[in-house]
Amino acid sequence: MALRKADPTEAQAAAATAAVAATEQFEQCATTTAAQPEAAQPAAQPAFEAPEQFVQDYTSAEGGATVTERPEVQVEELTEASAAVAQNAIAKAKSTAVVAARKLVGAFTDLQNVIALDDVEAMGVGAFPRVTVDLGGFMLDKEEIGGEIKAELLSWNFRYMVTTGSNDEEAKKKVKVSYDGVTVIGGEETCEQAIAAFKEEGYEKADMKCYVDLWASLVSKKGELIEEEDRPLVQIQLSPESVKKFKAFQTELGFKQARGMLKDSQPVVVIKAQRGEHKGNRYGYCTFGLK
């Protein structure tokens, strides 16, 4: 008895649709496997079962009898493909985890701009007592407070100074300030435009320098602790050289915190006045520590 296919085109389309569905099912399983921890055992793959439409009907030319066949599906090939997808996904997940684990977060990063920059700008200079360092040690406004202080940090921010590069009194009055390193406060002029304008005036050494303001509760001065209720909120101004030391301290302290070597998440910081010299110019700067 001769058999003929009822509709070969329809059968081929149904086969292609089922193959795509099967591939998507295995890829979904691979994604689920990749999301599991390395130590977890992968879930057992369910036995593949062709969908109902994946059936070809053949009709007898003579008797009209119908014979149903289920064509072979390359389940083994699909399984190997899904395993490769899973392995690639797991390798990518491991790589991402390693990178994330190696990213060191510096100490006090969460304190940056706790006092909003708009508020810092609105307060202006002198809203709080200023702590500066020179060759003789620290100054609290005009009061000498020794070569070492202790402070509890509350907030900190970058402050950029566009300078002429000259030390004469007239040039110092031209200094411009920016808190984002892009736009000068008090106008729409950019820092780059300000530098260019200074150079047009003949100041060839005009440049922008990075400073840091530490907003802190002063814990000790002149070697003596200050009673908690009497501790003033101060603005500790760091020069570019002191900024380098502060950033190095952040990195070192962040490493110790990541290793669980510190009990306090926000410890009291010891700041010491130091002396430096560069090309015959002497200057004061700060170093940071916990003791």
Note the pLDDT tens digit of each residue in 245-291: 999 999 999 998 888 888 776 789 999 999 998 888 899 999 999 87
- Whether pLDDT at 16 is above 60: no
User: Above 90 in pLDDT, residue 101?
Assistant: no
Quote the CA–CA distance of 287 and 252 in Å, as a whole number. 13
Confidence of residue 84 (pLDDT cuts 50, 70, 90): low
Judgement on whether residues 75 and 219 belong to the same structural domain of the protein: no
Residues 43 and 121 in one domain: no
Amino acid at 36: Q
Task: Check whether 11 has a pLDDT greater than 70.
Answer: no
142 shares a domain with 42: no
Residue 199 in any domain: the answer is no
Q: Tell me how many degrees the CA angle 274-285-103 measures, rounded to the nearest 5.
A: 110
Mark whether 130 and 234 lie in a shared domain: yes
Shared-domain flag, residues 97 and 114: no
Contact between residue 87 and residue 51 where contact means Cβ atoms under 8 Å apart = no
Cβ–Cβ < 8 Å for 155, 215? yes
pLDDT at 210: 97
Residues 257 and 156 in one domain: yes
Residue 24 located in a structural domain: yes
Query: Do 84 and 8 fall into the same domain?
Result: yes
Residue 132 domain flag = yes
Predicted local confidence at residue 82, as pLDDT:
63
Domain residues for the domain of 118 are: 110-160+211-289
Q: Which pLDDT does position 20 carry in this prediction?
A: 47
Question: Could you tell me if 153 and 16 lie in one domain?
Answer: no
Q: Provide the domain count of the chain.
A: 2
Between residues 243 and 77, the one the model is more confident about: 243
Considering the entire predicted model, what is its pTM? Answer: 0.64
Q: 196 near 189, Cβ under 8 Å? A: no
Question: Which pair of structure tokens corresponds to residue 14?
Answer: 């149904």
Kindly state whether residues 70 and 116 are assigned to the same domain: no
User: Looking at the domain assignment, is residue 171 inside a domain?
Assistant: no
Residues 89 and 141 occupy one common structural domain: no
Distance (Å, whole) CA 254 – CA 257: 5
Assess whether 90 and 115 both reside in one domain: no
Q: Are residues 14 and 155 in the same domain?
A: no
Q: Which of 89-93, 100-104, 137-141, 267-271 has the lowest mean pLDDT?
A: 89-93
